[in-house]
Amino acid sequence: MFELLSSKIENAIKTLKGQGRITEINIASTIKEIRRALISADVQYNVAKNLTNKIKEKALGQNILIAVSPGQLLIKIVNEELSKLMGGIKSDINLSKSFSTILIVGLQGSGKTTFSAKLAYYLKNKNKEVLLTTCDIYRPAAIEQLKVLSENIGVSIYLENNNKNVIQIVKNAINYAKLNNKEIVIIDTAGRLSIDNYMMQEIYNLKSILNPSEILFIVDSMTGQDAVITAKLFNDKIDFDGIVLTKLDGDTRGGAALSIRSIVNKPIKFISRGEKMDSLDIFYPDRMSRRILGMSDVLSFVEKAEKIYSEASSKEINKKLLNNKFNFNDLLTQIGRIKKMGGVKDLYKMIFGSNKISKDNINEDIFQDFEVIIKSMTKKEKLNPEILNGSRRTRIASGSGKSIQQVNNLVTKFHSMCAMIKKGKKNKTLKNKMSIFNKFIGENKN
């Protein structure tokens, strides 16, 4: 989402390279370019202006250390100010009570129903007893959509097909939840325009009568500045508690994420990408700032890995590696787990930062290629990688539709990775672990 903004800010800061210190003169053009980059990314003008003024003021007041260049110092300052702009620290949803209700509101088509199911799945994985319900009596497919999603994630749902009283539906759902020992009720509401007085009054009445623990406003990131304006109008009416940015995987300039916090003065609590139920993340302003600036986000990578890898499976892998028993079946399993964490390029960005990415050296289909090759091996070959001689590799290449060079590339990487991991047992630094990942997915031109 932020690729264009990242490259423009990076180019702006490059103008300070070769400078011995930051002065009023040499920083003026850099600040101007950063402001232009923000505005072109659809950041509200006054927000962009205030942000760059703070960056300039802070930069001119800094003493340059011998070991730090002006460009490096400015990146640090921009990172700090971007993080502050988006809230500074993460903000959790309010689940302090033994029984909580979460009201999901927003425009039509913003992704409320999908998010409701994602949030239910997220809370279920935290061992919470969750109930989903909807009071959208206007969209015919709303009830069926939520029903299908709830079945997919294994979460209880309360539905009423014929009742047209929105408040009564929600009251009934809450009573049902309490009778069935549920801790949290997530209420999906109908999409509504801020100019629709009847619908806005309906959501206001819902809030007043139910007094929910949390009201989350869903923002479609694709709508740009319109999202900021709409958020303000909704907040003026119902005073919601937090914001959720959806469709962050879309073709959007990202300005809403940077503007909305300062305009509405409400925290962004979650970010959502795609339709998969596990594609929901807590919003960390500092991590998002680092990613905008092309810096690494190792913490997010580690958290994703922890969701996929259990301690027991990690010990089993380590034992096999130390005893030279790690084989292509094991590699196939690991590839499946890594794919659940996201695309190769996204993972690479988190680990090394987008500034370290060379598009020529990253093959998004690398894991798919590896899977096809491994699946073309015999059972014996998968269990005994050392027997893959020239004739076997030629047969595997023919059977998989890949070149002999691609097969050789996989086998070479497999043995190299095993050796590096085994050697790495004596060097458990993060740098060493990242170099193993780079060795496996980088430099894949074949």
Among 221, 198, 220, 270, residue whose Cα is nearest residue 241: 270
Segment 99-118 shows an average pLDDT of 89
Same domain flag for 163 and 24: no
Long-range Cβ contact pairs of 233-237 (< 8 A, separation 24 or more)? 233/194, 234/105, 234/106, 234/194, 235/264, 235/266, 237/194, 237/200, 237/203, 237/204
| pLDDT greater than 60 at residue 66 | no
Last residue of a domain, which of 25, 55, 85? 85
Q: Please, what is the average pLDDT of the chain? A: 79
Q: Is residue 90 part of a domain?
A: no
Q: How many domains does the chain have?
A: 3
| pLDDT greater than 80 at residue 217 | yes
pLDDT tens, residue by residue, 231-242: 888 888 888 999
Q: 236 or 440, which is more confident? A: 236
| pLDDT greater than 90 at residue 57 | no
Q: Is residue 93 part of a domain?
A: no
Q: Is residue 92 part of a domain?
A: no
| pLDDT greater than 70 at residue 86 | yes
Segment 43-49 shows an average pLDDT of 85
User: Between the CA of residue 317 and those of 304, 321, 331, 362, what are the distances in Å?
Assistant: 18, 6, 10, 26
pLDDT number for residue 182:
93
Q: Is residue 284 part of a domain?
A: yes
pLDDT tens, residue by residue, 5-27: 777 777 777 777 656 567 777 78
Same domain flag for 160 and 182: yes
Q: How would you class 251 by CB atoms within 10 Å of its CB: exposed for 0-12, middle for 13-18, buried for 19 or more? A: exposed
- The pLDDT confidence band at residue 443, using thresholds 50, 70 and 90, is very low
Same domain flag for 79 and 16: yes
- Helix %, strand %, coil % of the chain (to 5): 60, 10, 30
pLDDT number for residue 161:
80
Residue 183, sorted as left (phi over 0), alpha (psi -120 to 50) or beta, turns out to be alpha
What does the alpha-carbon distance between residue 29 and residue 35 come to, in Å, rounded to a whole number?
10
- The pLDDT confidence band at residue 224, using thresholds 50, 70 and 90, is low
φ/ψ of 231, rounded to 5, equals: -60, -40
pLDDT tens, residue by residue, 401-433: 999 999 998 898 888 877 776 665 544 444 444
pLDDT tens, residue by residue, 129-180: 999 998 888 887 888 888 899 999 999 999 888 888 889 999 999 999 999 9
pLDDT number for residue 446:
42
Same domain flag for 196 and 228: yes
For 429, the token pair is 């630094």
Contact yes or no for 404/429 (Cβ under 8 A): no
Among 328, 367, 373, residue whose Cα is nearest residue 346: 367
pLDDT number for residue 193:
77
Same domain flag for 200 and 134: yes
pLDDT number for residue 81:
86
Q: What is the dihedral of CA 147, 148, 153, 156, to 10 degrees?
A: 20
Range of the domain at 73: 3-85
For 83, the token pair is 């993080």
pLDDT number for residue 219:
85
Same domain flag for 172 and 278: yes
* H helix or E strand, kind and range, residue 105: strand 100-106
Last residue of a domain, which of 269, 292, 315? 292
Residues 6 or more apart whose CB falls under 8 angstroms from that of 391 comprise: none
Segment 391-396 shows an average pLDDT of 94
Same domain flag for 11 and 117: no
pLDDT number for residue 372:
92
Same domain flag for 128 and 169: yes
Segment 33-42 shows an average pLDDT of 83
pLDDT tens, residue by residue, 244-264: 988 776 555 567 667 788 788
Segment 389-400 shows an average pLDDT of 93
For 404, the token pair is 């002999």
Q: 315 or 38, which is more confident? A: 38
CATH code for the domain of 13: 1.20.120.140
Segment 387-409 shows an average pLDDT of 92
- The pLDDT confidence band at residue 355, using thresholds 50, 70 and 90, is low
| pLDDT greater than 70 at residue 294 | no
- The neighbouring-strand residues paired with 216 are 104, 242
Segment 350-376 shows an average pLDDT of 68
Q: Is residue 91 part of a domain?
A: no
pLDDT tens, residue by residue, 371-381: 899 999 999 99
pLDDT number for residue 369:
86
pLDDT number for residue 417:
77
Same domain flag for 154 and 46: no
What does the alpha-carbon distance between residue 312 and residue 305 come to, in Å, rounded to a whole number?
14
Q: 102 or 76, which is more confident? A: 102
pLDDT tens, residue by residue, 339-349: 776 666 666 66
CATH code for the domain of 262: 3.40.50.300
Same domain flag for 135 and 188: yes
pLDDT number for residue 179:
93
* H helix or E strand, kind and range, residue 279: none
Last residue of a domain, which of 225, 260, 292? 292
- The neighbouring-strand residues paired with 245 are 219, 271
| pLDDT greater than 90 at residue 184 | yes
What does the alpha-carbon distance between residue 290 and residue 78 come to, in Å, rounded to a whole number?
10
For 131, the token pair is 């109930």
Angle between helices 70-85 and 3-14 (to 10 degrees): 140
pLDDT number for residue 432:
47
What does the alpha-carbon distance between residue 385 and residue 382 come to, in Å, rounded to a whole number?
6
pLDDT number for residue 437:
52
pLDDT number for residue 378:
94
Other C-beta atoms closer than 10 Å to the C-beta of 162 total 5
pLDDT number for residue 360:
52
Same domain flag for 131 and 267: yes
Same domain flag for 288 and 240: yes
